[in-house]
Chain A
Amino acid sequence: MLKDVSCQIEEHKIIGLIGRNGAGKSTFLNILAGHIKPTAGKVTIYQDNPFNSITTATNTMFIEEGMTFPNGNNIARILEIAKCFYPNWQQELAEKLLQYVGISLNGLYDKLSKGQRSTFNLVYGLSARCAITLLDEPMNGMDEAVRADMYRAILKEYIAYPRTIIISSHHLKEIEHLIEEILLINNGQVALHKELEEVQQFAVRLIGQPEQLEPYRNHALFERNEGPLAEIIVEKKYFNGHSSIQSEAVSASDVCKYVTANRMGGIDDVFK
């Protein structure tokens, strides 16, 4: 799944882990959580190898869609158990958040709807206040209103108790306001690892006549010819400010899209 991942993540940051479906985001998080042993390479979290380390396990919270809790335990009992295992557990916070989103403490986890489950998982993950909090597509299945609330909850909790949060999404726009850095994974490799602002400044969209844009074509991340005007996206460093070419900023989300696109011309190529 992952081939060539080399990166260093500083503590107490919120990192956006971005990538298309199947890019290797979940595998990456599973390795950090110590659930999977990498077949090659080395992972170190605070001088510890996370695989099979009880210290990492206690200080790491990994929230994902497939997580389960023992059948027949009600929500209150699950919280009680968490209190025994996680030294920083915030019981009051968990109860208040669950009450706010309307999840009853007496209910069974297995009876929750998909969206409620995601909400509960996230509340569980935030309340544990683990030094390393890994959130794999935490908002899956939640409705719009709860999503917004939950993003705000992540932010508030982060401010209250700074920790390293890695939040994965294939939808950068949704988490852009929340994150400090982007880690873009594509085909099992790190495609970009930069501060959000740098990604926003990473590329430019050039619009002009095709022959004007010709010199930029070999650096193009994306190109499109529609009628008399052509459009090319290149890394900013290749563009020297040619005056007759119109240049536009490219949003971080578009940068990620173009960097990970497997077809140069996008969907338009299919219809040629």
Chain B
Amino acid sequence: MNLNIDGTTPIYVQIAEWLRNEILAERLVADSKVYSQYQLAELFNINPATAGKGLTLLLEEEILYKKRGLGMFVTAQAKEMILQKRRGETLQQLARELVVEARRLAVTDDELIELVQKMQRGE
């Protein structure tokens, strides 16, 4: 498993992001146990405390919940929340960049919409 180690994106953020992707891909489903901080540490070759921070982040986002003495589990609404958030943030961010780039290249709004529609049809 490889992390982006250019040192600008905190490792724990990347761990959280990886776990979110696992949930989206349904390799981790609702109420299933997620990796412990030590398992994550071994998996990614990182400090367990750093892995723990990634888990805490998801705990705060209510994507994970804690069972005392048993570990952390995926909440029922986890996948939905991640999707919502990604739509809200990631997609918006990408769209913003797309629009900026389109303006720079003097692409008209219609052309842009047509391009997106083409992509969706898979051409």
Q: Could you list which residues of chain A lie within 8 angstroms of chain B, going by C-beta atoms?
A: 13-14, 151-152, 155-156, 158-159, 173, 176-180, 196-197, 200-201, 248-254
**Cβ B48 vs Cβ A159 within 8 A:** yes
User: Are A177 and B49 touching (Cβ within 8 A)?
Assistant: no
In Å, the complex CA distance between A13 and B47 comes to: 9
Residue of B nearest to A253 (CB): B7
Residues of B within 8 A of A196 (CB): 10-11, 47, 50
Task: Give min CB distance, B14 to chain A, whole Å.
Answer: 11
With A and B bound together, what is the CA distance between A249 and B12 in angstroms?
16
Do A177 and B46 form a contact, CB below 8 Å, given A159-B38, A159-B41? yes
A11–B10 Cα distance when bound, in Å, is: 23
Q: Of B5, B8, B47, which is within 8 A of A249 by CB?
A: B8
Is B3 interfacial (CB-CB < 8 Å)? yes
Nearest chain A residue, comparing its CB with the CB of B41: A159
Q: How far is the CB of B40 from chain A (nearest CB, A)?
A: 11
Are the C-beta atoms of A156 and B42 separated by less than 8 Å?
Answer: yes
In whole angstroms, what is the CA distance A156 to B49 when docked?
14
Taking a contact as CB atoms under 8 Å apart, the answer to whether B8 and A155 are in contact is no
Q: How far is the CA of A100 from the CA of B12 in the complex (A)?
A: 31
- B49 pairs with A159, CB closer than 8 A: no
Q: Is the CB of A197 within 8 A of B53?
A: yes
Cβ-defined contact, A200 with B38, below 8 A: no
CB pairs A–B below 8 angstroms (13 shown): A13-B49, A159-B48, A177-B3, A177-B5, A177-B45, A180-B49, A180-B50, A196-B50, A197-B50, A200-B8, A201-B10, A249-B8, A251-B6
